[in-house]
Chain A
Amino acid sequence: MNATSTPAGSAERAKDTVLSVRNLTVNYGDIRAVKGVSFDVRRGEIFTLIGANGAGKTSTLRALSGLCPCGGEIVLEGRALGGAAPEVIVAAGMSQVPEGRGIFGALTVAENLRLGAWIRRDREGVAADLERMFGYFPRLRERREQLAGTLSGGEQQMLAVARALMSRARVLLLDEPSMGLAPKLVKEIYAVLREINARGVTILLVEQNANLALRLADRAAVLETGEVVLSGAGAELLDHPRVREAYLG
C-alpha cells in the first residue's frame, strides 16, 4: 500500500510528531539536572511529564523554551530549536505557562494578554483572540483593566494560560498549573486545557500531581533524577505498580 522509499513506520512517526526531544541535558554548574531525556509529543495530544520535586521537570521545560543552556536536540515541527533564543521559540509556535504563573502584577490584565501576543502584528486577530480568551475565562473580562497583581491565585493561573495562548501557540507547555490552587479551581483550569486541546493545541504538561495529570493525558513519561524511567499511555501509567507506589500512594 505504501510505495515510499522510507520505512512506513518512521514516515508515520515524523508526520505525527510535533515536538521531538532527544538526549536533552541541562547543567547548573556541576550539577546535572537533566541527564539525557528523550520523548516525542504527537500532534493534538496531551502529553505529561510527571515526577517528584527535583526530578528535572521544570529544567526540561525551561530548556524547551530557551531559558537555560542545554545539550541535545529539540525539534519542533521539523525545525531544530536547540540553543535558540526564547523569542525564536515563541515565534516558532511554542509557548510556556511558567511555574508560579509569572504574572506581571504591575500591569493590567489586558496588558498581560497583549504582551502574550507580542510576536503578532495582526491587530484584528489579536483583538479577536482577546475576546476568545475572555470567553474561556469570563472572570478575566470583568477584571480587564485591573492590575493583575490584584487577582486571586486561580484568576492569575487563568491569566497565565490565556496569555500563553495569545501567541497562537500550536504547542503549549505548562509547568504545574495546579500548584497552590483549590481543587475546584484546578478542575476549572483542567477543563479549559481539555477544551483548548480539543481545538487543536498540543499540550505538554508538567505536574507533580500525578493522579490529575495522568487522567487528563493521552500519554505520559515519568522523570526521576533527570531521566525518563517509564513512559506509556496516561491510563496505563495510572495503573502501573511503580507509579502507584511512588506517586499515587
Chain B
Amino acid sequence: MDYALQQAINALQLGSIYALIALGYSLVYGVLGMINFAHGDVFMLGAFACFVLVMWIPLPLVVVLPAVMVITGLAGMLIERVAYRPLRRAPKVSAIITALGCGLVIANAVNSLSPYSQSMPRLLEDETHTLFGEVKVSSLQILITGVAVGLMVGLDFVVRKTRFGMAMRAIAQDRATVALMGVPVNRIIALTFGIGASLGGAAGVLYGLAYPVIAAPMGVLVGWKAFVAAVIGGIGNVRGAMLGGYLIGAVEVTTVAVLPSTYRDLIAYSLLLVILIFKPHGLLGRPVNQKV
C-alpha cells in the first residue's frame, strides 16, 4: 500500500511535466491544425536556457523560471513567424516536414554547443518529508507538481474565460470568419505559439530540477512521450492534454515498478495504439466537423 502511494507521488511529478509539454502540442494543433514537431526541442531548449542562466548568474528559481519562459516563448514565436507562417497555405505535409526540420535544427544547434550531457546545478535545498509509514515526498516534488498545476490552471482560465482565449477557440473553428470580427488572427496565433513554447520551457526547467542530467536528445525522447500524451487525451483539447500527461506518467511509473525498466517506452507507446483503436479522437477529443 505504501509502495503504491509512493509510486503515485512519483507519477504525479512525472505526469505534471508531460502534461505541461503536451499542452504546447495541443494548443498549436487547436489553432492551426498542425503538429509542431519542434515543440519537444523547445522543451529541451528551456532546460538548457535554465542551465546557461544559472551558470552565468546564480539567480533563484523565482527569477530563472519566468526568464526561461520568456526566452522559450520568444523562441516559439520566432519559429512560427519564420518557419510556419509562410507555409500556412502550403500542403499540410510541408508544414510537418518544416516542423521536423526546425526541431532538428534546434537539437543539433544545442548538440554542437554542448555535445555532452550537462548536470544542472541545484537550485534549491531539497528536503524529504515523511507523510506516513514509508511514504515520502520531497519538497522538490511538491514544487514541481505545484508549479505545473498552477500553470495549467492559469492556462485553462485564459482559454475559457478571457477575450484572448475566446479568440483562440474561435480560430480553432473557423480562421477566416474570425478575421471578419476584426480579430488580428496572426497575432493571436503567434501568441498561442508563444504560450505553448513558454509552458514547454517551464517544463524544461522542472525536468532539469527533477532529473538533473540534461542533454540535447532529451527533446526528442521526452517530447515524443508528451506528444503521445496530447494525442491520447485528444489533441486540440486543453484538458485532454493534461489528462494524457498524467496518464502517461502513471503508466511509466507503474511499468517500471512491475516490469524491467526497458519495457517503459514500449508500454507507453502501445497504450497510444490501443486507445486510438477505441477512441480515434483521444479520450476527450471530439470528431472534427469537416466543413463542406
Contacts and interface: CB of A to CB of B under 8 A. Distances in A.
Interface residues of A, number: 25
Given A107-B170, A115-B167, A118-B167, A102 B182 contact: no
Interface in A173-187: none
Interface in B137-188: 163, 166-167, 169-170, 172-174, 176-185
Given A115-B166, A115-B167, A106 B173 contact: yes
Contact of A119 (B166, B169, B182, B289): B182
Given A87-B179, A102-B177, A104-B170, 9 more contacts: A66-B179, A86-B185, A87-B182, A104-B178, A105-B173, A107-B173, A114-B166, A116-B181, A118-B163
Contacts of A90: 180-182
30 contacts: A65-B179, A66-B179, A67-B176, A67-B179, A67-B180, A86-B182, A86-B185, A87-B182, A87-B184, A90-B180, A95-B182, A96-B180, A98-B176, A98-B177, A102-B176, A104-B169, A104-B170, A104-B177, A104-B178, A105-B289, A107-B169, A107-B170, A111-B166, A115-B170, A115-B178, A118-B181, A118-B182, A118-B183, A119-B182, A163-B181
Contacts of B176: 67, 98, 102
A91 interface: yes
Interface string A84-118: 01110011000110100010111100010011101
Contacts, number: 65
Chain B: interface secondary structure? helix
A102 B183 contact: no
Nearest to A149: B289
A116 B183 CA distance: 9
Interface of B: 163, 166-167, 169-170, 172-174, 176-185, 289
B183 A104 contact: no
Which of B170, B177, B180, B289 has the most C-beta atoms of chain A within 10 angstroms of its own C-beta? B180
A107 B176 CA distance: 16
B43 to A, nearest CB: 28
Contacts of B182: 86-87, 90-91, 95, 118-119, 167
Given A65-B180, A86-B179, A90-B182, A102 B174 contact: yes
A163 B181 CA distance: 8
Nearest to A89: B182
